[in-house]
Amino acid sequence: MESQMRHQIPATLIPGDGIGPEVVAATVQILDALGSPFIWDVQQAGVAGVTHCGDPLPEATLASVRKNKLALKGPLTTPIGEGFRSSNVRLREEFQLFGNVRPVRTIIPGRYDKVDLVLVRENLGGFYVAHEYYVPVGDDPRAVAVATGVNTRDACTRIAKFAFEYAVKHERKKITVVHKANILKVLTGLFLEAARDVAREYEGRVEMNDVIVDACAMQLVMNPWQFDMLVCTNLFGDILSDQLAGLVGGLGMAPGANHGTDTAIFEAVHGSAPDIAGKGVANPISILLASGLMLDHVGKSDLAVRLRTAITEVLNTDQIRTRDLKGTASTREFADAVVRRIENS
């Protein structure tokens, strides 16, 4: 009992909106079967935060993450065009989660076999700083829309160092810096310049090249195997990580980790999927794999490996898949199958 207690790790659990509670419930069930060390403090955010506490980012949720410095978060709905600001973006800002790691790997062999890529996204700057406004002209209050992007040399250097350190630690050989420095010469030119400076410190250990974002999008479809790691500004990283997910079976297959200097929040790349919410058919693999990254993060890679093995066996040996993967299993049936594999492993 005492030895069990010693290995418990408190963490915040945010079920989130839409399919969030469904995929989070599946994940908790599977982590329990795995004997994971996490002790969950359940908190709300997003639309669920408004419903439960009248706030899309309640103080209790912030206090819990501040204390635990570790969270697993379901997707949070953000109103489009108007309404409250993204709680995801606010969480990243509040805890200075500057480094977003989004790995993708082919699990189900298909059109894109053996894809194994890691995208690192700068998570705080660029066009996400929300310096946006309308300029009225005549009787049109929204005649002109203006957005300002902000990249600082410090932030660019920090994310580049983070990416190179990740490469060294995970034995990745090449980093491709994604930019649009031909057009956004200042905003993304600085990003490229800082990355080149950092790359010099890693010469002989990690190779670096760069690519313009539009060409990168095309190359990812034509020949994704040429890439090892991508490091991107905030907006390009957001867009390309959904594209990467598409290479390996869709948004149901893509986990993410948001890292700061002392806090980390793990989540799926996808959103709250309102079109399938409440139907019990969502694919829980993205957030499950995110919980695997969380196990790696706390030094429990043995459990993470068992988790990933069980997922692979259920998909490929048992052939149990959710609808997005052309299967017929419900979220719950898939989760039960993973639990069976874990119990027999």
Q: Which residue is nearest to ligand NAI (CB)?
A: 271
Residue whose CB is less far from Mg ion, 269 or 288? 269
Q: How far apart are CA 157 and CA 194, in angstroms?
A: 5
Q: Which of 22, 238, 324, 336 binds Mg ion (CB under 5 A)?
A: 238
187, 126 Cβ separation under 8 angstroms: yes
Q: What separation in angstroms does the CA of 305 have from each of 26, 101, 136?
A: 18, 18, 56
Diameter of the chain by CA atoms? 73
- Does 267 interact with Mg ion (rule: CB under 5 A)? no
- Does 270 interact with ligand NAI (rule: CB under 6 A)? yes
Q: What separation in angstroms does the CA of 313 have from each of 85, 304, 324, 337, 338?
A: 40, 14, 18, 9, 8
Q: Which of 104, 124, 276, 329 binds ligand NAI (CB under 6 A)?
A: 276
- Does 286 interact with ligand NAI (rule: CB under 6 A)? yes
Binds 61: which of ligand NAI, Mg ion, none (CB < 5-8 Å by kind): none
Mode of pairing for the β-strands spanning 255-259 and 99-105? antiparallel
Q: Which of 82, 203, 262, 275 binds ligand NAI (CB under 6 A)?
A: 275
Q: What letter would DSSP give residue 81?
A: S
- Does 17 interact with Mg ion (rule: CB under 5 A)? no
Q: Which of 65, 265, 273, 339 binds ligand NAI (CB under 6 A)?
A: 273
Min separation Cβ 53 and ligand NAI, Å: 18
For the chain, the 3-state helix, strand and coil shares in percent, each to the nearest 5, are 45, 25, 30
- Does 77 interact with ligand NAI (rule: CB under 6 A)? yes
- With CB under 5 A as the contact rule, which of the stretches 72-80, 210-218, 237-245, 333-341 interacts with Mg ion? 237-245
Min separation Cβ 103 and Mg ion, Å: 15
Residue 7 host element (H or E): none
Contacts of 21 (CB under 8 A, 6+ apart): 15, 48, 74
The residues that touch Mg ion, with contacts defined as CB under 5 A, are 238
Positions that interact with ligand NAI (CB under 6 A): 19, 23, 75-78, 88, 251-252, 267, 270-276, 282-283, 286, 324
